[in-house]
A = this chain, B = another copy of it.
């Protein structure tokens, strides 16, 4: 799974967990539904401005993290402490590969 796929699938999951259709997200962001379709299906290498716009409409933020700090960050983001979030996560047993190699 490439890094772009990871990001776009993350966005897709976040959208679905919020119960939004592509069209609904399109209305929130101003980004065409057709573009969201292509992005989620891996047919588009979206611009960073598009990534940021989609992320923010889904209450997410794009950040750069030093690789050495990834485990610490993951330990935070994969916690299911928050009620508002855990209620929307259907499969909490997920675990992304933590290897330092790219795939």
**Which chain A residues have a beta carbon within 8 Å of chain B's beta carbons?**
3-4, 7, 10-11, 14, 45-49, 51-52, 55-56, 59-70, 72-73, 76-77, 82, 84-85, 87, 102
Contacts and interface: CB of A to CB of B under 8 A. Distances in A.
Given A46-B47, A52-B3, A63 B63 contact: yes
Contacts of A51: 48, 51
Q: A49, A68, A69, A72 — which one has the most chain B CB atoms within 10 A of its CB?
A: A69
Q: Tell which of A51, A82, A84 has the most Cβ of chain B within 10 Å.
A: A51
B7 A64 contact: yes
Given A45-B49, A48-B45, A64 B60 contact: yes
Given A60-B66, A69-B76, A48 B84 contact: no
Q: Is the interface of A mostly helix, strand, loop or mixed?
A: helix
Contacts of A102: 56
A61 B64 contact: yes
A65 B14 CA distance: 11
